[in-house]
Chain A
Amino acid sequence: MIRHGILIAAALIFGPLVGGLISGMDRILTARVQSRIGPPLLQPFYDVIKLLGKEKVVVNVWQAFCANAYLTAASIAVVLLCLRSDLLLILFIQAVGSVFLVVGAFSSTSPYSQIGAHRELLQMLCYEPLLILVAVGVYLQTGSFRIAAVHALHQPMLLKLPFLFLVLGLVLTIKLRKSPFDLSTSHHAHQELVKGLLTDYSGPLLALTEIAHWCDTALLLGFCSLFWATNPIGALLLVAVTYLMEIWIDNVCARMNWRWMLGYGWGMGMALSLVNLVWLYAR
């Protein structure tokens, strides 16, 4: 019981912390490949601290509630991942958090917010089925949806599920709002919707969504690490390589529109998943 308590506390603290640090490293690396110096490593934390110190302006009660709900759901998902709980449960809780973010954006009247929320829904429509398919692949490989079963494997999952890992990479690109898919909102706001679905979140509430986004990042990268769960160094390497690929994609692609995203995401994602699943099933 005490072990669980420590694990939960660690997940609550280190989840967002790791997410924020990764985001800081991302900003420095992105700056370097664009031949800029870039911000300090802790810049994301400075940003969030500054946002937390600002005056709280509540557009409407629903939005404030949704921001809190998003953060809660995102942290619960990270805690469950650390407790090696059920994969499907984690994915659904994560999805619930995202839905709350969208509902919060829909509850304001700004057209930017509305259209951003609409696009975020389309993004979820694109990546949620793919995430479930990846979970199904894990099930076929281990015979259970529990993460503990993955840790019991003697051989890295990546060797059996290479295509599904690519699908997970695709989902990660959408979730991290990287370049071909920064449709609903973007980090730098140089986009037709400016800040899109985050338009009406401001001050401390925006800080909450940012922390929740760190949790989401940590969760998905944790999910990636499961593909090499047999060896911590291997897991770390896999995550690092995955993230470097994300930065690479972000810097060699233009932003696409949501029609292309749905077509490409479903077409490519489903095809890769099916090939992998059929291969697993036939074996």
Chain B
Amino acid sequence: MFTMTSTILRNLLKEPATRRYPASVRPSFEAARGEIRNDIHVCTFCGVCAVKCPSQCITVDRKAADWSYDPSACVQCGVCAEVCTSGSLQQARDYRKPVRKKELVVLKGATTPPKHSDPPVTG
């Protein structure tokens, strides 16, 4: 009882361990496994990431030069970035921001001439 008293008094005098989250954000660690980002101009659409992904959240269409990724199915294991042959896939330090709707991230590459002239859609 008395040791607990000293503990709670120490807590009272010290800064709280929690923080007001959206207002103050702790910077991520250097090694933190966050969002997956693909530099589509470097991507060769080899499809290794899609094969190795344990949650099968990446689909690659080599002909259409389409790379799409389902962030809500991703488990942030980082395997895709590790096996990427061209180095276009990178795992950022920060997590993806919360979203209201599940959305696919569809990236269109320019290695083959685009069939229609839509601008690249980014997530």
Chain A interface (Cβ within 8 Å of chain B)? 31-38, 248, 251-253
Q: In the assembled complex, which residues on chain A have CB atoms less than 8 Å from the CB atom of B17?
A: 35-36
Q: In the assembled complex, which residues on chain A have CB atoms less than 8 Å from the CB atom of B1?
A: 252-253
Interface contact B11-A32, CB-CB below 8 Å = yes
Interface contact A33-B12, CB-CB below 8 Å = yes
Assembled-state Cα–Cα distance A34/B20 (Å): 16
Q: Most chain-A CB neighbours within 10 Å: which of B14, B16, B19, B20?
A: B16
Return A31 CB to nearest CB of chain B, in Å: 8
Given A252-B5, A253-B1: A32 in contact with B18 (beta carbons within 8 A)? no
Can you name 19 A-B pairs with beta carbons within 8 Å? A31-B16, A32-B11, A32-B12, A32-B16, A33-B8, A33-B11, A34-B8, A34-B11, A35-B11, A35-B18, A36-B16, A37-B16, A37-B18, A37-B19, A38-B16, A248-B5, A252-B4, A252-B8, A253-B1
Tier of interface size on chain B: 10 to 19
Q: In the assembled complex, which residues on chain B have CB atoms less than 8 Å from the CB atom of A34?
A: 8, 11
Q: In the assembled complex, which residues on chain A have CB atoms less than 8 Å from the CB atom of B5?
A: 248, 252
B 1-36 binary contact with A (CB < 8 Å = 1; else 0): 100110011011010111110000000000000000
Q: In the assembled complex, which residues on chain B have CB atoms less than 8 Å from the CB atom of A253?
A: 1
Return A257 CB to nearest CB of chain B, in Å: 18
Return B29 CB to nearest CB of chain A, in Å: 22
Q: Nearest CB to that of A29 among chain B residues?
A: B12
Q: In the assembled complex, which residues on chain B have CB atoms less than 8 Å from the CB atom of A32?
A: 11-12, 16
Q: In the assembled complex, which residues on chain A have CB atoms less than 8 Å from the CB atom of B8?
A: 33-34, 248, 251-252
Assembled-state Cα–Cα distance A234/B18 (Å): 36
B 68-103 binary contact with A (CB < 8 Å = 1; else 0): 000000000000000000000000000000000000
Interface contact B18-A36, CB-CB below 8 Å = yes
Assembled-state Cα–Cα distance A33/B13 (Å): 8
Assembled-state Cα–Cα distance A69/B86 (Å): 74
Q: In the assembled complex, which residues on chain A have CB atoms less than 8 Å from the CB atom of B16?
A: 31-32, 35-38
Assembled-state Cα–Cα distance A35/B4 (Å): 13
Q: In the assembled complex, which residues on chain B have CB atoms less than 8 Å from the CB atom of A248?
A: 5, 8
Q: Most chain-B CB neighbours within 10 Å: which of A34, A35, A38, A251?
A: A35
Return B60 CB to nearest CB of chain A, in Å: 45
Return B5 CB to nearest CB of chain A, in Å: 6
Q: Nearest CB to that of A251 among chain B residues?
A: B8
Q: Nearest CB to that of B10 among chain A residues?
A: A35
Q: In the assembled complex, which residues on chain A have CB atoms less than 8 Å from the CB atom of B14?
A: 35
Q: Nearest CB to that of A36 among chain B residues?
A: B18
Q: Nearest CB to that of A249 among chain B residues?
A: B1
Q: Most chain-A CB neighbours within 10 Å: which of B11, B14, B17, B19?
A: B11
Assembled-state Cα–Cα distance A35/B1 (Å): 18
Assembled-state Cα–Cα distance A32/B18 (Å): 10
Return B79 CB to nearest CB of chain A, in Å: 37
Q: In the assembled complex, which residues on chain A have CB atoms less than 8 Å from the CB atom of B18?
A: 35-37
19 new A-B pairs (CB below 8 Å) besides A33-B9, A36-B18, A37-B19? A31-B16, A32-B16, A33-B8, A33-B11, A33-B12, A34-B11, A35-B14, A35-B16, A35-B18, A37-B16, A37-B18, A38-B16, A248-B5, A248-B8, A251-B4, A251-B8, A252-B1, A252-B4, A252-B5
Q: Nearest CB to that of A248 among chain B residues?
A: B5
Return B88 CB to nearest CB of chain A, in Å: 42
Q: Nearest CB to that of A250 among chain B residues?
A: B8
Return A91 CB to nearest CB of chain B, in Å: 31
Q: Nearest CB to that of B11 among chain A residues?
A: A35
